[in-house]
Chains A and B, each alone.
Chain A
Amino acid sequence: MDIQDQDATARWEALGSRDPRSRGTAMEHISQEVMRRVESIGPIPATVPSPLATAGHPTSDLNDILARLLMLSKRCPFDDVRERCVWLLQNVQDFGVRIPRPLGNGPSRFIPEKEILQVSKVDPRTQSIFEDAFAALGRLDNISLVMGFHPQYLESFLRTQHYLLQMDGPLSLHYRHYIGIMAAARHQCSYLVNLHVNDFLQVGGDSKWLNGLDGAPQKLQALGELNKILAHRPWLTKAHIEHLLKAEEHSWSLAELIHAVVLLTHYHSLASFTFGCGITPEIHSDGGHTFRPPSLSQYCVCDIANGNGHGHLEERRGNHQVSEVSGEVEVLMERMKQLQECRDEEEASQEEMATRFEREKTESMLVATAEDEECVPSRDVSRHFEDPSYGYKDFSRRGEHVPTFRVQDYSWEDHGYSLVNRLYPDVGQLLDEKFQMAYNLTYNTMAMHKDVDTTMLRRAIWNYIHCMFGIRYDDYDYGEINQLLDRSFKVYIKTMVCSPEKTTKRMYESFWRQFQHSEKVHVNLLLMEARMQAELLYALRAITRYMT
């Protein structure tokens, strides 16, 4: 049985091979296996609504395989595998066995599927990145597909993630995935939690840990506190670090801690991205597919609107809004131009600058973070963390005064990088490249306009996020933010960064209405990286203080 399982895994893995012949053989084996099982079950009478829950072991096993085939038929970067999977599913269906169909439409709830890159039609470079990702993980997740809008960034992102999860590092593999689960669960991101629960079990993790943090070793429990603080109010102090490092037999080493911190921040910000782009569950995981035949009543309106066809609703709403927003982009560009020109003329006094920062900081608090309308139904992810009431708390509003973090005193380039690279070699370099890539990425376009210098806009977004975390750039005029970012955009940023689980489709749609989806994804990348850097800066500064 054990060996059989291993064989099966090896076969699935072989589908990621670059050599078409070995893919072919693997596919052949899989189809034989599937057909054997199908025959053993025999055709299920179509009249009986197959009760999935009570189905015997072989059926649910088969269903898993079928779901996986469905995923491959949509997401595998190799043509041959996709075709074979479709063919095989068809065959299975001909036998009278019910086959699954994907729920939802495409990798994102917010972005129509047709806008997103099709796996079958990408340029060679992206294709190669996808193939690499597929070979490494055996899947091409929805996150990568959405990031596929920006292949340069995607490459850097995947390389970093691969290094963090799979390459040499102070933490063992199952620890890494568990920390990922902890971090994602903090934001109730069931998508990432599901993904990593599978990975965690695959690398030999103890399933008892998954019952909750109580089931995990003491050492990881100690990390829960850090996770909580980092995710919501990252102003860590030396004492927090000391608490982790001086816990006798459960203590962390510095290198392990750095690894854990990088993982935590990575998954916090990735959770932001997941919600910000409305990533849908993977096809082969729970909630990504259904065995029920399609019936009209189950479609909800938003599904239609998000579908491939032009939803009437969207169209109508779009028409309605076009008139009032048409000038939006031009206004923004005009403002940027003005700022560029008049900056040298009127020079605000230093006091004025300081107040501007404070004002922006306070104001960012007042930006309401979404009405508590739609809470994402999470598969009791809450058991992975404690104290659910602990959320993002705004600066100053609660009376607890947190001093402003001056980036000139502790910056990623000068200080953070050196510390990370010292304790966790190469990761500093990878993160550095990723930050730079995200910060400098531009196509010099804004909606329908070409050759626009967007530096100013990107810097405003980046600094606004850091401002929300209390990080101040001495050399930045925070008045610019007010000019460039309108209210609905601020609401979106604030929600995504501070409580991503509350992001809604309406928020996504209501900012920058004329911009392309790829540009909105670009914004999401900026948000994600800025957030990660902000959290990292706080954590690394605390570690540095501990060390001196």
Chain B
Amino acid sequence: MEKMSRVTTALGSSTISGRTMFCHLDAPANAISVCRDATQVVVAGRNIFKIYGLEEEQFVEKLNLRVGRKPSLNFSCADVMWHQMEENLLATAATNGAVVTWNLGKPSRNKQDQLFTEHKRTVNKVCFHPTEVYMLLSGSQDGYMKCFDLRKKESVSTFSGQSESVRDVQFSMKDYFTFAASFENGNVQLWDIRRPDRYERMFTAHTGPVFCCDWHPDDRGWLATGGRDKMVKVWDMTTNRAKEIYCVQTIASVARVKWRPERKWHLATCSMMVDHNIYVWDIRRPFIPFATFEEHKDVTTGIVWRHQHDPYFLLSGSKDSTLYQHMFKDASRPVDRANPEGLCFGLFGDLAFAAKESLISGDANRKPYPGGDRRYPIFFFKKPDLTEQFAHVSSALSVFESSLESKRMDWFVKTARLYLLSGKPFAELCDHNAKVAKELNRPQVSTTWTMLRIMFSDPANLSTPGPNHIGKLGTLPLMNSFSMKEMGMGTESRLDRSKGESRQDNIHLELGNSLINSNNDENEETEGSEGQAEYMFGDAELDDDDLYSMDMFFSLVFSAEEQEYTLPQEAFPLRHEIMDNPLAPEHLQQDKADSPQASGNEAEVMCLTPIESFSLISISQPLFSPHLPAPFFCPVVREMLSHYAEQGDVQMAVSVLIVLGDRIRKEIDDLTQEHWYMSYIDLLQRFELWNVSNEVIKLSTCSAITCLNQTSTTLHVNCSNCKRPMSNRGWICDRCHQCASVCAVCHHVVKGLFVWCQGCSHGGHLEHVKNWLKSSSHCPAGCGHLCEYT
């Protein structure tokens, strides 16, 4: 609010006045230009060539230069320029290759003065010399630039760019003889007007065409260029080699660039495609436009500052057939709308947070900066106009580290490394993974693996594997507890222990199984190893310290025995009862979802998975039959997997998916599977577990995943002799015809695995280098480098 009131005062000093206004043209404009005293503007396009007067409140059409019943292509203008010295003189570049000059002083209706048809292709640009009245320069699609003396009938000199298509030519503001030309192949050339034979210097400014260039009005050496590669670059031409000093990345190809008068760091750009806005950039702040004009409905084709010394008025013409005068005070300021807050999670659960200082300082009782930002000295002698300065936003960055107790993500890394996903019989895989999980103190996961083994192993084998362990409640160490270091404000993220427990009781009550309650209590006590002795059934098979329910064991044994005597039909009604199970886990999940801020410790106590609830129910009803076919469990397992995935433990979901393979794959729709795989692979790669991630990709059955390691499999090698890329074969260079990859140990060509030191780039056969390194740590090539291999 304060800013706006100051604008008007600043405007008071300006000699011209006006407001944001526009007028409709009859046709799309290609280019515009203003006369020196800033009272008139000429608009040129394929079907339009008019002069408008700039009045206080509106545009007034002054003159239509497009005369004749059927105007020729000479009127079809690609560019137009109004002479800055002689106010009756205009020049246009026609799409058919003609350069035309117009004299407004002519009495007849047709103001056409001279016609030069020397270019063979479309002329893209015309430019008058800033101080010399009769000198005109043109640049054309045919690759030539021509300099015309308007007193003569033809060009006085021709400059050949030796390449296709000149896109822009601009006389230097300060150097009388110099002009710059930009080309479609990305080059910019500097010429001396007296020497048409050769350019003074050339450099590659952009990849792809350079559509425009503009000399800085005050600074002798600065040239701004804009290209199809969506960049605006500012070059310092005073040094021997043109040096890129600033670079602004825009969102679309840059069609025009114009320095803002009286402002050293500002320039305006508009784009050729897609983006219709005009941006004014402060080149020192290349990431966000200083001001934006958003009036046009189609691409802006021409922009020009109304007066050479007035930075507040911008004129623009567009393909949407309008001509605008923009007032700088009406521009929108993207910085006001930008969100200065940022939030990012680190790999190990750390959290970085940046926010406006004012927001944070209030909280942290910091000293706020009174009356704005004092760290930035003010250079202006006049009273600084706030609208002309970039709003300085200083943000405070806070990093919150996750607490040590939650063990960060170590479990994830270790689990990923130790899990076995293939290569062994199913039962062994499950056992192995269960063991891994248990060692990492994740009993729930461990139990799940054991359950899976029982469910999907052959019934005949069921008696041999160890008994299943129910009741040990798992853990999901979620990273929710942070200690806020910077602010010194510890967040109390842990819930009240008692609260959690009371909820637990509810669950137990609902399930009506007091056994679990005792299990839970036991669970915490028996984290150690000595718990085993307390159980009667803790025989040799029971080498786990997991809680073990006697009832369960009995029920298993009994049901197995009973099964032999009962008729098979009886199994069917029982199934229906079990079908009701999903209700229980749903309820539990809901309960869980109600407490998202549960800390790791709490989760350990109260997290119940569908699997367990299932087994709990089967305890009360001894109908667990070892002869149930494996598909019987699929719905439950599917739910279990989605539960894990939802919990954030996509690792478990994917691992189980791979280990179970065909047993479960058909149960889960492909998209979900793909989603899980992608998430897990993404996680693995963030932890740089490349081998594991590759194994997962290989073992996955989704076509979308397996094709991941089919992409970008090319390895580019450079020849060690000539340093050129080797295109054909990996071991012989096409150019210097030498064997490039010779083993430093045996001096033979390596055609298979080649290992080399990244320090000295010597190496050889994997085996040879391995053996060599056993005896010596120096490079086998004798270069003296202490080789390092990881």
Contact = CB atoms under 8 A, between A and B. Distances in A.
Interface of A: 18-19, 124, 128, 131, 167-168, 204, 343-344, 347, 349-351, 353-354, 406, 408-409, 413-415, 417-419, 422, 432, 473-475, 544, 547-548
B109 to A, nearest CB: 18
A413 B184 contact: yes
Interface in B55-84: 70, 72-74, 76, 78
A419 B297 CA distance: 17
Contact of A475 (B95, B209, B297): B95
Interface stretch (B116-124, B524-532, B555-563): B116-124
B72 A349 contact: yes
A14 to B, nearest CB: 14
B70 A204 contact: no
A544 B273 contact: yes
Interface in B138-155: 141
Nearest to B95: A474
A22 to B, nearest CB: 10
A351 B119 CA distance: 19
A128 B70 contact: no
B274 A408 contact: no
A474 B76 contact: yes
A432 B228 CA distance: 12
A417 B211 CA distance: 13
Contact of A19 (B46, B252, B751): B751
Interface of chain B: mostly helix, strand, loop or mixed:
loop
Interface string B249-268: 00011000000000000000
B333 interface: no
A415 B96 contact: no
B728 interface: yes
Contact of A204 (B76, B703, B751): B703
B272 A418 contact: yes
B47 to A, nearest CB: 10
B727 interface: yes
Contacts, number: 82
A321 to B, nearest CB: 36
Contacts of B78: 408
Given A475-B121, A548-B298, A418 B253 contact: yes
A283 B165 CA distance: 46
23 contacts: A167-B711, A204-B703, A343-B120, A347-B117, A349-B72, A350-B73, A350-B74, A350-B96, A353-B96, A408-B46, A408-B76, A414-B228, A417-B208, A417-B228, A418-B252, A419-B274, A432-B208, A474-B76, A475-B121, A475-B122, A544-B274, A548-B274, A548-B297
A349 B96 CA distance: 11
Contacts of B211: 414
Query: Can you list the 3 inter-chain pairs with the closest CB atoms, starting with the nearest?
Result: A350-B72, A474-B95, A418-B273
Nearest to B78: A408
Given A18-B729, A544-B273, 9 more contacts: A168-B711, A343-B120, A344-B118, A414-B273, A417-B208, A418-B252, A419-B273, A422-B252, A548-B276
A422 B209 CA distance: 16
A349 B74 CA distance: 10
Contacts of A413: 165, 184, 209, 228
B458 interface: no
Contacts of A351: 70, 72
B184 A128 contact: no
B445 interface: no
A427 to B, nearest CB: 14
B97 interface: yes
Contacts of B94: 474
A414 B184 CA distance: 10
B299 interface: yes
A168 B141 CA distance: 35
B522 interface: no
Q: Which of B72, B165, B211, B730 has the most CB of A within 10 A?
A: B72
Nearest to B73: A350
A167 B707 CA distance: 11
A263 to B, nearest CB: 19
A128 B95 contact: no
A349 B72 CA distance: 8
A544 B276 CA distance: 12
Interface string B719-750: 00000000111100010000000000000000
B272 A415 contact: yes
A128 B734 CA distance: 11
A474 B119 CA distance: 12
A351 B274 CA distance: 34
Interface string B233-254: 0000000000000000000110
B734 A475 contact: no
A38 B76 CA distance: 75
Q: Which of B117, B209, B228 has the most CB of A within 10 A?
A: B228
B621 to A, nearest CB: 41
Given A418-B252, A475-B120, A475-B121, A124 B728 contact: yes
Contacts of A343: 120
A168 B656 CA distance: 30
Given A414-B272, A418-B252, A418-B272, A475 B141 contact: yes
Nearest to A417: B228
Contacts of B76: 408, 474
B664 to A, nearest CB: 19
B46 A409 contact: yes
Nearest to B253: A418
A409 B47 CA distance: 12
Contacts of B95: 406, 408, 474-475
Nearest to B115: A347
Contacts of B118: 344
Given A124-B734, A415-B273, A418-B228, A548 B72 contact: no
A349 B276 CA distance: 37
A531 B267 CA distance: 40
A417 B273 CA distance: 10
Contacts of A414: 209, 211, 228, 253, 272-273
A128 B299 contact: no
Interface string B694-731: 00000000010000000100000000000000011110
A159 to B, nearest CB: 12
B46 A406 contact: yes
Contacts of B70: 351
A474 B273 CA distance: 21
A415 B73 CA distance: 22
Contacts of A475: 95-97, 119-122, 141
A67 B727 CA distance: 32
A132 to B, nearest CB: 9
A547 B727 contact: no
Nearest to A343: B120
Contacts of B117: 347
A547 B96 contact: no
A19 B122 CA distance: 53
A146 B95 CA distance: 38
A124 B729 CA distance: 12
Contacts of A474: 73, 76, 94-97, 122
Contacts of B728: 124, 128, 131
Contacts of A417: 208, 228
Nearest to A419: B273
Nearest to B751: A19
Contact of A547 (B46, B141, B184, B274): B274
A344 B211 CA distance: 29
A58 to B, nearest CB: 29
A408 B96 CA distance: 9
A204 B702 CA distance: 12
B73 A548 contact: no
Contacts of A167: 711
A343 B703 CA distance: 61
Contact of B73 (A128, A344, A354, A409): A354
A418 B96 contact: no
Contacts of B273: 414-415, 418-419, 422, 544
